[in-house]
């Protein structure tokens, strides 16, 4: 990756956390090549996560119904190189035949399989996904200087509210969700300790958030109908965010908010932990059945769900107090 570079394409179609963890790559490339023209290919539902990044010149929205035209557009741009951080059949088809250098993210399918199914751990280095993305372009040593970042459109932002704590009870998969009863108990402990509590989430989280805020007086419903910018504006009021292993964990980190993350069926070794921000992960390391998945499952295969059930709200509150007082 030497010489003059005029135009670059980054490909990461999904999901929210993965897209946010590519933002240090954008910053690095902008500095490395003296502000080249950087384009980014992404699915529409995740576009707002990077839409306002100052180093991006063009956002290309992926449309599965118009792949032929999209491939023509990629070829027409004549990129100096393409960085495919998705590296699946879809992105390989999109870039097949393109006459330029393509760097592809090396996935660790075998190592993840061995850890999940045989509990053989070849992922002990615990590198973040961002560092692994950076290895794709030979920038692993430099990327630590580039935090993940979310840029919001111009407009007045609410100031951070002292002792406001954000709670994010949602996650796409059941085994990544700390039980609702525990978020309920934790919010009560926080309120009794003089904190204010804001429940944050998107459309799929609205039922649980409304149930919690309706039952626990004094808590704030800060959920949105999948309006990412509004969610970020609500989140930046918080001093700390307590969250499951989810896209909102990476959102908080990319907004520069310290994160206390609760891990159930997943583990740090997969690389999806808060990058370059004050954070702490709470997990049950006593279980031999963890991890049971690298992305989450719809139910506990052992039927006990002890990875989450044994992490009590009182334990999490104790860890939160120590974490908050260390900031």
Domains and CATH numbers, the chain: 7-145 (3.40.50.2000), 164-326 (3.40.50.2000)
pLDDT value, residue 81: 97
Residue by residue, pLDDT tens for the chain (327 residues) are: 666 899 999 999 999 999 999 999 999 999 999 889 999 999 999 999 999 999 999 999 999 999 999 999 999 999 999 999 999 999 999 999 999 999 999 999 999 999 999 999 999 888 999 999 999 999 999 999 999 999 999 877 789 999 999 999 999 999 999 999 999 999 999 999 999 999 999 999 999 999 999 999 999 999 999 999 999 999 999 999 999 999 999 999 999 999 999 999 999 999 999 999 999 999 999 999 999 999 999 999 999 999 999 999 999 999 999 999 999
Task: Please name which of 192, 112, 136, 175 lies closest in space to residue 10, comparing C-alpha atoms.
Answer: 136
Instruction: Give all strands of the β-sheet with 81-84 in edge-to-edge order.
Output: 58-62, 37-43, 7-11, 81-84, 101-104
- DSSP-assigned letter for residue 272: -
Return the number of other C-beta atoms located less than 10 Å from residue 185's C-beta. Answer: 17
Alpha carbon 17 to its chain's center: 2
H/E segment holding residue 91: helix 89-95
* Residue 259 dihedral angles phi and psi, to the nearest 5°: -125, 135
pLDDT value, residue 1: 61
Task: Please name which of 153, 129, 130, 167 lies closest in space to residue 249, comparing C-alpha atoms.
Answer: 167
Q: What are 302-311's contacts with CB under 8 Å, separation 24+?
A: 305/175, 305/264, 307/175, 307/263, 307/264, 307/265, 307/283, 308/175, 308/177, 308/178, 308/179, 308/182, 308/262, 308/264, 308/284, 309/179, 310/284, 310/286, 311/178, 311/182, 311/262, 311/282, 311/283, 311/284
pLDDT value, residue 168: 98
pLDDT value, residue 320: 98
Residue 58: C-alpha distances to residues 4, 10, 54, 125, 227 (Å): 20, 11, 10, 35, 21
CB-facing half-sphere around the CA of 129: CA atoms within 13 A: 23
Strand stretches in the chain, DSSP E: 7-11, 37-43, 58-62, 81-84, 101-104, 164-168, 196-201, 220-223, 240-244, 259-262, 279-282
Residue 17 and residue 170 in contact, taking contact as beta carbons nearer than 8 Å: no
pLDDT value, residue 62: 97
pLDDT value, residue 88: 97
Query: Token digits for 302?
Result: 């052992």
pLDDT value, residue 2: 62
pTM, 2 dp = 0.96
């Amino acid at each position: 990756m030497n010489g003059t570079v005029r135009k670059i394409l980054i490909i990461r179609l999904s999901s929210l956390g993965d897209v946010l963890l590519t933002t240090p790559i954008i910053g690095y490339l902008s500095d490395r090549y003296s502000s080249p023209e950087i384009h980014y290919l992404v699915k529409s539902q995740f576009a707002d996560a990077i839409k306002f990044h100052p180093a991006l010149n063009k956002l290309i929205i992926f449309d599965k119904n118009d792949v032929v035209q999209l491939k023509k557009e990629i070829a027409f741009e004549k990129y100096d190189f393409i960085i495919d951080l998705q590296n699946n059949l879809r992105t390989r088809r999109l870039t097949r035949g393109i006459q330029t250098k393509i760097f592809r993210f090396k996935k660790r399918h075998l190592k993840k399989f061995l850890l999940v199914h045989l509990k053989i751990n070849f992922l002990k280095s615990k590198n973040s996904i961002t560092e692994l993305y950076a290895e794709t372009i030979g920038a692993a040593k430099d990327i630590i200087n580039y935090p993940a970042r979310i840029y919001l459109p111009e407009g007045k932002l609410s100031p951070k509210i002292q002792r406001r704590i954000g709670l994010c009870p949602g996650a796409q998969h059941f085994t990544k969700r700390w039980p609702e009863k525990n978020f309920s108990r934790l919010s009560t402990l926080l309120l009794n300790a003089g904190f204010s509590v804001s429940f944050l989430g998107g459309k799929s989280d609205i039922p649980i958030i409304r149930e919690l805020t309706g039952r626990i007086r004094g808590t704030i419903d800060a959920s949105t109908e999948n309006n990412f910018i509004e969610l970020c504006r609500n989140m930046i009021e918080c001093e700390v965010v307590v969250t499951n292993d989810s896209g909102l964990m990476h959102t908080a980190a990319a907004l520069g908010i310290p994160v206390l993350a609760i891990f159930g069926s997943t583990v740090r070794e997969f690389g999806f932990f808060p990058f370059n921000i004050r954070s702490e992960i709470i997990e049950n390391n006593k279980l031999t059945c963890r991890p049971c998945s690298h992305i989450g499952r719809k139910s506990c295969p052992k039927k006990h769900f002890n990875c989450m059930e044994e992490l009590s709200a009182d334990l999490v509150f104790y860890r939160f107090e120590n974490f908050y007082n260390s900031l």
